[in-house]
Amino acid sequence: NLPALRAGIEAQLARYPHFRSIQVTDRDGELRWLPTTVNVDNHLIRPTLDPAAVAANPDKAVEDYVASLSTLPMDRSQPLWEFHLFDFPTSEATSTAAIRVHHSLGDGMSLLTLLMACTRSAADPTRLPAMPPLPTRTGAIYQRPRPSAGVLAFLAWVWSFVVLAWHTVVDVVGFFATILFLKDPHTLFKRVNHAETQRKRIVHRRLSLDDVKFVKNAMKCYRAKFNMRKCVARSRTDAQG
């Protein structure tokens, strides 16, 4: 619903200072924000794609277009945000919006929250959209432990903080050791002799957090999310090896 999207952007997104400003260079060579007039239609882009490519594989057509965006600079004559709209169905959605925003405007979570505030529910336009319910999962790994009371429960609670503090110290030491002399192991995510000028492709894939936790538990990684990422990479390398 393009008119509803435009109205939501005008009411929410375009009223924030950085979303209605451009970056200019002052006499000292430093960037600063300069307020400007926002024409929302200039930020709603409807790409013209090859009809044959869309009919053959709509998912690949979207991915090819999004990958090409990473090679193109943003137009600095207007605020640094864009909505690229695709009015054809893919395997996961009826339509798709690729949102391109400069990182100086915000981080990922704040931008997602702001974008959700710009939309409304299709069933009730006066309400914000509701996230879909979580899928029902069964099995021993998804069952929460029953709460216990007494001295043993208190000691376990204290011990969890001790373990957390110890792992934090180990991670900090490992971080500085990596900066000074340690090297990360080579995985599928770190190619050897990878040219920086080579084109990089952006591919999206939905991944359940419960599945990531399952891999973490299977690999016995009980430390921070830093180690969980290592375990996911290691498991993928072992599976393909």
**Does position 58 have pLDDT exceeding 90, yes or no?**
yes
Q: Quick check: is 180 in a domain?
A: no
Could you tell me the two tokens for 28?
A: 């000292």
Range of the domain at 30: 2-117
Report how many domains make up the chain: 2
Q: Quick check: is 143 in a domain?
A: no
Sheet containing 44-45, strands listed edge to edge, beginning at the edge strand earlier in sequence:
44-45, 81-86, 96-101
Q: Quick check: is 168 in a domain?
A: no
**Between these two residues, 135 and 6, which has the higher pLDDT value?**
6
- What average pLDDT score do residues 223-236 get? 45
Q: How far apart are CA 182 and CA 176, in angstroms?
A: 9
**Does 98 lie in the same domain as 205?**
no
pTM exceeds 0.85, yes or no: no
Determine the pLDDT at residue 36: 92
Could you tell me the two tokens for 137?
A: 């999962």
Contact 36, 21 (CB under 8 A): yes
Which residue out of 103, 186, 194, 204 is catalytically annotated?
103
Q: Quick check: is 108 in a domain?
A: yes
Determine the pLDDT at residue 125: 79
| pLDDT tier, 111 (very low <50, low <70, confident <90, very high otherwise) | confident
**103 labelled catalytic:** yes
**Does position 144 have pLDDT exceeding 80, yes or no?**
no
Contact 24, 30 (CB under 8 A): no
**Does position 226 have pLDDT exceeding 50, yes or no?**
no
Q: Quick check: is 234 in a domain?
A: yes
**Does 24 lie in the same domain as 112?**
yes
